[in-house]
A = this chain, B = another copy of it.
Amino acid sequence: MKIYGDSNSGNCLKVKWVSDYLSLPYDWIEIDTMKGGSRTPEFLKLNGAGQVPVVILDDGRALAQSNAIIRYLARESDLVPHSPYLAAKMDEWLFWEQYSHEPYIAVCRFQIVYLKKSQGDLDTDKVKRGYAALALMEHQLHTTRFLTGSSMTLADVALLAYTRVAHEGGFHLDGYASVRRWIADGKKALGI
In the complex, per-residue mask of A80-98: 1 if CB is within 8 Å of any chain B CB, else 0:
0000110111011011101
> How far, in whole Å, are A103 and B95 apart by their CA atoms in the complex?
13
Contacts A64-B92, A88-B63 given: A136-B69 contact, CB under 8 Å? Answer: no
Nearest B-chain residue to A55, judged by Cβ: B88
Q: Which A residues between 70 and 124 are near B, CB-CB below 8 angstroms?
A: 71-72, 75, 84-85, 87-89, 91-92, 94-96, 98-100, 102-103
B67 to A91, Cβ gap below 8 A? yes
B67:A88 contact, CB within 8 angstroms:
no
Q: Write out the residue numbers on chain B whose beta carbons fall within 8 Å of the beta carbon of A95.
A: 65-68, 94-95, 98
Question: Is the beta-carbon distance between A49 and B100 smaller than 8 angstroms?
Answer: yes
Chain A interfacial positions (CB closer than 8 Å to B): 48-49, 51, 57, 61, 63-69, 71-72, 75, 84-85, 87-89, 91-92, 94-96, 98-100, 102-103, 136, 139-140
Are B84 and A75 closer than 8 Å at their CB atoms?
A: yes
Is there an interface contact between B48 and A68, defined as CB atoms closer than 8 Å?
no
Separation of A71 and B67 alpha carbons in the complex (Å): 14
Query: A72 vs B51: C-alpha distance in the bound complex, in angstroms?
Result: 27
Known: A49-B96, A95-B98, A136-B49. A88 touches B103 (CB 8 A): no
